[in-house]
Amino acid sequence: MSLEGKYNTKSPAVKRLMREAQELHEATNEYHACPLDDNLFEWHFTVRGPPSTEFESGVYHGRITLPAEYPMKPPNIILLTPNGRFEVQKKLCLSISGHHPETWQPSWSIRTALLALIAFMPTPGNGTIGSLDYSAEERQKLAKKSSTWKCDICGRIDNLLANAEQTSRTKSNTQAEEHRLNSSSVQFQGTASSITEATLSTSSVDISLNEGLRQRLIDSQRQVNSSSAQRKNSVANSEQLTVQSFNNFFWRIIIIILMLGIIFLSIRRLFLV
């Protein structure tokens, strides 16, 4: 049964995902994504590591699960290939993922999420959910091994991305997406303050992130990491205060008991005399 026959094509989520599946049908040199044959709400993707980083020679595969409310709610992103930056088989905590619905924008797409994921890879994890802080040497080793990694569903992942010549032929399929990304401003809303608006630009043929957007995405993730760290510190401080309060209360009880004991012995001695 085709996806058209399996799903209600009047559903906004189904209509949106079918359109995105058509737009992402041809792989680029940077990324590729498509839904499973039997599930429009689960996609497999492959991205190439960002250039001039320890991930440069790597090819990374993962899953995207989408809620029924998509695009009003964000997708969940799960990496499957060992990479040294993100844990495998675990939902990633990013400002474009399900962990942070407050920063998600309905105008974003699966393509946007893939480009943002590539931009986030060289950034520090800072202890966020699903992050790893492997050394550059370890990440380079994993990047070299990644080309031989095989998905049980998709097969060898190094064959899923197009080369530079093939990428040039996909430009006509991305014009609508380029216009949408270039004309819509992206605002990350942090818990402490609003973050500067950015515009997602896909001016190059390979739809790579420009440096300005890359920096804004990184800054937004740092805001998320900072908020997470602040919450952890707040919880730790609260627990410390609770322990201190308990200790103070305990010693007060001990002192009161000792004082009552002294008073009792003094009174008893007076009566005995």
Q: Which residues are catalytic?
A: 93
Q: Are 159 and 94 in contact (CB under 8 A)?
A: no
**CA–CA separation, 108 and 180 (whole Å):** 9
| CA distance readout (Å), 34 to 18, 42, 153, 200, 221 | 10, 9, 12, 22, 26
Main-chain phi, psi angles of 57, to 5 degrees: -90, 5
Beta pairing, strands 39-48 & 31-36: antiparallel
**Closest Cα to residue 83, out of 116, 58, 65, 64?**
58
Element (H, E) at 245: helix 211-272
Region of residue 127 (left: phi > 0; alpha: psi -120 to 50; beta: else)? left
